[in-house]
Amino acid sequence: MAFLSSRYAHLLFRHLPLLLAGVIGGYLIGTSNTENRLAIRDEDYSASTEAPPVRAAIVALVRNSDLFGLRQSMRQIEDRFNSRFNYPYIFVNDEPFTEEFKQGVSDLTDSHVEFGTLDHDSWKVPEWIDQERYEKVKLTATYPHAEKDSYRKMCRFQSGFLHRHPLLKDLEYYWRIEPDVEYFCDIDYDPFLFMKQNGLKYGWTIAMPEFMDTIATLWNTTEQFIGEHPEYLAKHSLREWITGNGGGYNGCHFWSNFEIVDLSFYRSAEYQAYFDYLDRAGGFFYERWGDAPVHSIAAALFLNATQVHYFDDFGYFHPQVSTCPGGSKQRGRCVCDSDLSIVQNGFCSVRYRNIKHQILHPDSPTAAHSGPVNHVKPFVDST
Ligand SMILES: Nc1nc2c(ncn2[C@@H]2O[C@H](COP(=O)(O)OP(=O)(O)OP(=O)(O)O)[C@@H](O)[C@H]2O)c(=O)[nH]1
Ligand SMILES: [Mg+2]
């Protein structure tokens, strides 16, 4: 079965017990805990006929060979959202885009589309990487994409360089997309404006545990960095969300193939210093650190919990995992099967909701540790 080869299918099955435990837990604490209710929703974030009110764009790093997958993603984004809001698209590539690619994506939208290439420094194996050590890892590591230079360059680029690309320099926010993703719901408000007016810096849809072999030393390196820069930690952060018993990393991360981000976060001194520190440590190559855990750890440490937003009203799919607002089989403006999207009530989502609830309501009797998170052991990969 082709889908079993994906790293996400691998993850999903690997963590099935955790996800199932979380499902039960999620129902215990109630699935109606819609995070949007925490924010002001009676403001008007609806479509306007004027130019988009936020300097924002829908952005992706893509290859020419991704044309069809990207066209599928764009078709849905246009239908569900952007044909009414007209945000521009920005696509970047490590090779020049072909005329066929440019025409193929431009055909789908009335919005402005920009195409860019990368500079060499943002797409390379840095000179401080020990080539012999790196080649050995590529030959021996068994996780998906272990043998690929390009996958590691992609992860490093998305972690540290995409937001600094010249085409993004005037943007306040970006919405990251990928080929072959699906959007199941009408998005009838402007998420950029919603984030801006609520002071939100990081928005996500799917959270799940990471494949720990790919990030064996990421947490140690992060702790060393924090040891040198304790001033970067946010006072009311989501640190507890990503740490387990004993304080180690539990692997929870936001799936960054979708993310809506206030780019001042990635442009901040703390994020830049953190990326540079990780880059020097070499784990993008000696292991296979992904932009998802890197972005997520930074969000959980450097932002306050109130600046992170769960778009649990979005129905979203990236192979092979989906999230779907409850009841969407029968009613409403989403069409998806929430019975299949168990990730919403998996360990990391439930833990996030609990911990955020505790931070927002410290006097509430439902303390973070009284929920199901306490009954699920943090994932530690022993292989
Ligand atoms: N230009 C360019 N884009 C790439 C390259 N590798 C990946 N990408 C893009 O980076 C994003 C993430 O790559 P994917 O292959 O989807 O990675 P993934 O989702 O982690 O992996 P799988 O689902 O396991 O394949 C996608 O938008 C890809 O188009 C590359 O070598 N060059
Ligand atoms: Mg992908």
Q: Are 300 and 214 in contact (CB under 8 A)?
A: no
CA of 179, closest atom in ligand 1: 27
CA of 367 from ligand 2 middle (Å) equals 36
Length of the chain equals 383
- Can you give the pLDDT at residue 366? 57
Looking from the CA of residue 62, the nearest atom of ligand 1 is 29
Domain membership flag for residue 30: yes
Please classify residue 172 by burial: count the beta carbons closer than 10 Å to its beta carbon, then call 0-12 exposed, 13-18 middle and 19+ buried: middle
Tell how far the Cα of 154 is from the centroid of ligand 1, in angstroms: 7
* pLDDT for the residue numbered 341: 86
Determine the distance separating the centroid of ligand 1 and the alpha carbon of 353, expressed in angstroms: 29
Note whether residue 285 is domain-resident.
yes
Active site (annotated) includes residue 99: no
Judge whether 109 lies within some domain: yes
* 365 burial level (CB within 10 Å; 0-12, 13-18, 19+): exposed
Mutate which of 61, 95, 255, 294 for ligand 1? The one with the most ligand atoms within 8 Å of its CB, which is 61
pLDDT on residue 244: 86
Q: What are phi and psi of 349, to 5 degrees?
A: -70, -40
Q: Which two tokens stand for residue 184?
A: 């199941």
Taking CA atoms only, the protein residue closest to ligand 1 atom 5 is: 154
Catalytic residue, from 78, 210, 240, 259: name it.
Answer: 259
In a domain, residue 214? The reply is yes
Contacts of 19 (CB under 8 A, 6+ apart): 12, 208, 342, 343, 345, 346, 347
* b/e 196-215 (16+ beta carbons within 10 angstroms → b): bbbebbbbbbbbbbbbbebb
Ligand 1 and 66: CB distance under 6 A: yes
Inside any domain, residue 183: yes
Please tell me the number of the ligand nearest to residue 155's CA: 1
Task: State whether the beta carbon of 48 lies less than 6 angstroms from ligand 1.
Answer: no
Q: Which pLDDT belongs to residue 167?
A: 98
User: How far away, in angstroms, is 309 Cα from ligand 2 center?
Assistant: 22
Q: How far apart are CA 93 and CA 168, in angstroms?
A: 14
pLDDT at residue number 376: 28
The predicted pLDDT at position 142 comes to 96
Q: What is the CATH number of the domain that holds 364?
A: 3.90.550.10
What's residue 30's pLDDT? 35
92 within some domain:
yes
The tens-digit pLDDT sequence of the chain (383 residues) is 233 334 444 444 445 554 454 444 444 333 334 454 444 344 566 665 567 789 999 999 999 999 999 999 999 999 999 999 999 999 999 999 999 999 999 999 999 999 999 999 999 999 999 999 999 999 999 999 999 999 999 999 999 999 999 999 999 999 999 999 999 999 999 999 999 999 999 999 999 999 999 999 999 999 999 999 999 999 999 999 999 878 899 999 999 999 999 999 999 999 999 999 999 999 999 999 999 999 999 999 999 999 999 999 999 999 999 999 999 999 999 999 988 888 999 999 999 999 999 999 988 765 443 333 322 222 222 22
Residue range of the domain that includes 266: 2-375
In-domain check, residue 149: yes
Answer for the pair 320, 6: CB distance below 8 angstroms, yes or no. Answer: yes
Residue 179's Cα: distance from chain center in Å? 15
H helices of the chain, in order, are 7-14, 16-29, 67-77, 83-85, 99-106, 131-140, 149-160, 191-197, 218-228, 239-242, 263-266, 269-281, 283-286, 291-302, 347-360
What local confidence, expressed as pLDDT, does residue 342 receive? 85
Question: Does the CB atom of residue 61 touch ligand 1 within 6 A?
Answer: yes
- Domain membership flag for residue 22: yes
Count up the domains in the chain and report the number.
1
- The pTM of the full predicted model, rounded to 2 decimals, is 0.87
